[in-house]
Structure 1
């Protein structure tokens, strides 16, 4: 499964204190089983001193192959352990799909 592959790559590279990889493909206009839309919530010491854009670039580089081959959309919520601890309600929900008609 693509979700498992993404999660493993991120765990191996970033040793997160928290990670959640959610396949949100079913909420979008893609064929059933497409595994193409994901939400990643991750807290890692690796993000200390990094701005948001740098954090996202790290993840894009780690998942370069998956993004080129199968992943169409990737919602990223990246935190340091301290930032994650301060969040009261966790990461925000993903927005509703704005695509056309649903397939499959």
Structure 2
């Protein structure tokens, strides 16, 4: 199973009203077809009353195996339904890749 599909399947446990998983590996210095850099936007009532750090920990716990073995970078946008509507249903853009350890 592709990593993107695995992330989507596992995050269903948070019963999201909206879930978008984008493979952003092509924006980084990795082999074509890599699945190592992802952006996840997830809207869930499970985040109600929880601080941002707690929400990220929830997602990281669910994806702990993938984070340990497959995923190099994970950008998270975790919102309640109210926060999602305040943003008009638009996620933030990921920051540009700075090249990591690539020597120039």
Name the TM-score, length of structure 2 as normaliser: 0.92
Q: Secondary structure at the match of 1:75?
A: strand
Distance 2:15 2:88 in 1: 23
More RCO (CA 8 Å, sep 6+): 1
Gaps of 5+ in 1: none
Q: Secondary structure at the match of 2:68?
A: helix
Moved segments of 4+, more than 6 Å: none
Query: 1:60-83 deviations in whole A, cap 9, x for unaligned?
Result: 000000001110000000000111
Aligned alpha-carbon RMSD (Å): 1.2
Q: How many residues align?
A: 100
Distance 2:33 2:61 in 1: 25
Q: Which residue of 1 aligns with 2:9?
A: 8
The alpha carbon displacement at 1:89 in A equals 6.0
